[in-house]
Amino acid sequence: MSDEADDRDPGLFGPASVTWQMHGDPMMWIAGVRALYLQALHPRAVRGVMINSDFRKDAWGRLLRTANFVGTISYGTAEAAERAGARVRRIHRLLGVDDPELLLWVHCAEVDSYLDVLRRSGFPLTDAQADRYVDEHRTSARLVGLDAAAVPATRAALAGYFAAVRPELAAGDDARVVD
């Protein structure tokens, strides 16, 4: 006995995921802005944005494109998410910005920003759910070209990653332009 709802593709995460719970919250817009500012602290990552993006003329458009990608991978079908990931990988490859180190930085900055902003805003999330969220997003890391096994799977691993990368970060001239 099957009805139409049972036959629909729940996508990469599905309605029981922490991702589905969190990503519908309006605070995700604030979290997205935080992610962009955090990402700008990596000198090579922000240099790639400066060279290959029109964010200075269309910052809102860049945020909307990122939000569309996040929405697609969060709530779209698995096929739509895979297509969105392939599009991002193709663009990064064409621009020469498919460096796994930089992709990992962008990924971790996004996941940390989404989690931190929502928790600080009062979104009800246990520590176990927060760890589950970080682990769920190893799937989104795979979509953009990362080896999911090399991506932090817990909040502690994410904190360890940030501690290791911190010496490389700087609020240099390029990062200051992002304001």
Domain boundaries, the chain: 14-177
pLDDT for 55 equals 63
**In the block, which residue shows the tokens 């932090």?**
152
pLDDT for 52 equals 66
Q: Within a 10 A sphere around the Cβ of 40, how many other Cβ atoms?
A: 23
pLDDT for 63 equals 79
Name the stretches of the chain with pLDDT < 70.
Answer: 1-7, 50, 52-56, 178-179
pLDDT for 179 equals 60
The CA distances from residue 89 to 49, 84, 125, 155, 175, in Å, are 15, 9, 31, 26, 24
